[in-house]
A and B are shown apart, each in its own frame.
Chain A
Amino acid sequence: AQSVTQLDSQVPVFEEAPVELRCNYSSSVSVYLFWYVQYPNQGLQLLLKYLSGSTLVKGINGFEAEFNKSQTSFHLRKPSVHISDTAEYFCAVSDGRSGYSTLTFGKGTMLLVSP
């Protein structure tokens, strides 16, 4: 069975500061990893994904994440945040063994950007 742990439920940060949202996973097989963002009263939108290849993955809105197999982590980073980045962020994992692409989600991290 897979699981995802997002270590921080809430991360407050000032505008233009760097931010890192942490995600650790557990799985007995190779995994595919995702970060989604949810703005208030909206559905989830894909930020970025790791399927294979380079462990540094770049996504939309200036976000990037690094896959670290030895530490089973997939932390999300942005060098300078904006007020508009205030949202909830979800890390998710799929083992890809079936064609169903079921995802296991973490409990989410609320990023609060203040002026």
Chain B
Amino acid sequence: DVKVTQSSRYLVKRTGEKVFLECVQDMDHENMFWYRQDPGLGLRLIYFSYDVKMKEKGDIPEGYSVSREKKERFSLILESASTNQTSMYLCASSSTGIGSYEQYFGPGTRLTVT
């Protein structure tokens, strides 16, 4: 089974702190994604990566950056956390190829910024 793990289930940080959210997948997937999930807004794509050291902005990249130094690991960085970044963050991965469009999700990290 595909497994996507996220470093923390719950995280509390202070305004202005630099925050790292880590995601690891064990299926050798080329693509990895970061979403944030807010009530009534569904999932919104922050960034994605289709290869090591490659990244693409999603729909809401402002205030975030990402890093992918190894194929299995994709990090989301909040350079200076703000209260409006309090949210559930979901990581996902997928393979590249015809018919392989589904994404596999991690359990999520609920981040609270105070």
Contact = CB atoms under 8 A, between A and B. Distances in A.
Contacts of B103: 101, 103
B80 to A, nearest CB: 27
B97 A99 contact: yes
Contact of B108 (A42, A49, A99): A42
Where chain A touches its partner, the secondary structure class is loop
A51 B96 CA distance: 15
Interface stretch (A13-21, A79-87, A104-112): A104-112
Contacts of B4: 43
Interface in A44-103: 44-46, 49, 51, 90, 94, 96, 99-103
What interface size band does chain B fall in? 20 to 34
Q: How large is the interface on A (under 10, 10 to 19, 20 to 34, 35 or more residues)?
A: 20 to 34
Contacts of A108: 42
Contacts of A101: 31, 94, 96, 100-103
Contacts of A94: 101
A90 B101 contact: no
6 contacts: A42-B108, A43-B90, A99-B50, A101-B102, A102-B33, A107-B40
